[in-house]
Structure 1
Amino acid sequence: MPSYSTLAPVVAAAVVLWLAGVPGVCLAFDQPATPPPDDLCLDDADRRAAAALQHFAWGVHEQLASAGEFDTAARHYREALRLQPRSTLAFQHLATPYLILRQFDQLQTHLEPLL
């Protein structure tokens, strides 16, 4: 372990640098100098895609979190398909449990509104 005589100047220098340099540097970048570029703004299609992805993710979460209960997940998958009708991944996640359980009437009930 270093002795107190060698450690004290290092700690003092670190404190001085931190007090003098870090707050000035951090506070200098609090406000952006220019407004954000236009490509960071979402249009309606981007918002729909983001909402569809959100519902798909919630559907996956609900499907994994609930043992055997699929209704809540199916509701999220249907909403994702309503927002993004060409999403094959959401369609597969909605259809596969009904196909595995051979519940074709349920599958038809859930898919008819999407046609």
Structure 2
Amino acid sequence: MVDAPALAALLEEERRLILDGSWGDLQALAQHKAAGLDALRHAEPEELAPLARSLSRNQALLAAAIEGVREALRRRAALAAARKGLVTYNAQGTRAEVPVAPPRIERKA
């Protein structure tokens, strides 16, 4: 028999870790979660419904976190491209790059 309350508590802990951004702890939790899910093969359908909701909720949270990381990477790439200079095109369609001078920092005593 599956210990559904223990697995439900594990899924709630996973949710908390996702919301906190504790990615290292999530990786450690994954083995326990896999073992708990593996034990569900012989579970009764009524035990699975609440667990399915928790799994679905956590999956949506993880998908949102992954999209957030992707967006951050896109933003970093855009900022790096902007630091390299401005790319523009003239009336003939020829590409022209306008270099950007690095910011000067002045120290005043």
TM-score (norm 1): 0.26
TM-score (norm 2): 0.27
* More helix as a share of residues: 1
State the structure with more CA Rg. Answer: 1
* More strand as a share of residues: 2
